[in-house]
Amino acid sequence: MKTVRRVSGFAGRWFAVIVVLAGALALLVPGAFAGGTVAVPWLLALIMLGMGMTLRPVDFAIVARRPWALVAGVAAQFVVMPLLAFGIAEVLDLSPALSAGMVLVGSAPGGTASNVIVYLARGDTALSVAMTSVSTLLAPLLTPLLVLWLAGQYLPVDGGGLFVSIVQVVLVPVLLGLLLRRLVPRLIERLLDVLPLVSVAGITVVVAIVVAASADTLLSVGLLVVLAVVLHNVLGLGLGYAVARACGFDEQGRRAVSIEVGMQNSGLAAALATAHFSPAAALPAALFSVWHNVSGSLLAGHWARRSAATEPTLPAGAPGTRP
């Protein structure tokens, strides 16, 4: 297990670099990965199962203690990012497939790496964990509605199909993970060290498959899509902080909401785009997977050098203990 911990730790620290290298490899030899699109939902389901295994009832205690903070944070998550995605797609005049992909990224719940980034940034980790968990559980309802509303003008949207897909690849695996931790806690505790490695491997393969399947699109409009993704993430981080400040949150809370709003579950967006639209629609999600981990790490490093009110603690087994 010591070897597994070292490998998992290495994968977690160098996650962004690993994903970038996988994307570059897929761009160079797309034929090696392009046929794997059918595996994308299964890979995401495996990652979500791991997330469920890390959750505990205490992770939801903040719902009772500070409901206003959680409601405001989750509301910002599902308002700021979808509208930003739509606005950026309109301003940059992206193609219908890429516009739908941007909206999918914006309508996804919080990213699974956000809790660790909040911890490193000396933010409110308990609020971060609760936001990730609650937004994930709300995704089967809110994500299809947002995509139907904002992306329906670009491409036909099967709202019912999106709902079923999210239930299958997110809700069921997360609830199954929760149940397993409840029924066989000792076994799950032994598996927790492996989960970062599983998550890194899963997201890396998803990015490689999506990039390979949309290599032609990336080569033709790559810089434009990169600009859209960077703007989406950076503006999301900034507006998340601004919303938290306007709501009267302390500095730790502002940092948590900023990161939770700016970092999306791009793996889910890639899986949904691949299943319901096209590989090109999954391209923004693949690029977001790379960029938001880079920007999140840079922001965490900046904030870590600026003291917050109190030292944060990362709850044991929090969902963010893996990328």
**pLDDT tens string 86-120:** 999 999 999 999 999 999 999 999 887 787 788 77
Phi, psi of 313 (to 5 degrees): -130, 140
Average confidence (pLDDT) over 266-285: 86
Q: Determine the pLDDT at residue 256.
A: 93
In a domain, 317, yes or no: no
Q: How far is CA 281 from CA 95, 240, 272, 290, in A?
A: 9, 25, 9, 16
| Residue 206 pLDDT grade (very low, low, confident, very high; cuts 50, 70, 90) | confident
Q: Which helix (H) or strand (E) holds 222?
A: helix 215-246
In a domain, 320, yes or no: no
Residue listed under structure tokens 């790496």: 113
In a domain, 216, yes or no: yes
Average confidence (pLDDT) over 199-203: 78
Q: Which helix (H) or strand (E) holds 183?
A: helix 172-183
CATH of the domain at 16: 1.20.1530.20
Q: How many domains does the chain have?
A: 1
Residue 189 lies in domain: 2-28+39-304
What are 165's two structure tokens? 């897909």
In a domain, 129, yes or no: yes
In a domain, 169, yes or no: yes
Whether the pLDDT of residue 52 is over 50: the answer is: yes
In a domain, 319, yes or no: no
In a domain, 313, yes or no: no
3-state helix, strand, coil in the chain (%, to 5): 80, 0, 20
Contact between 178 and 54 under an 8 Å Cβ cutoff? The reply is no
In a domain, 321, yes or no: no
Q: Determine the pLDDT at residue 251.
A: 93
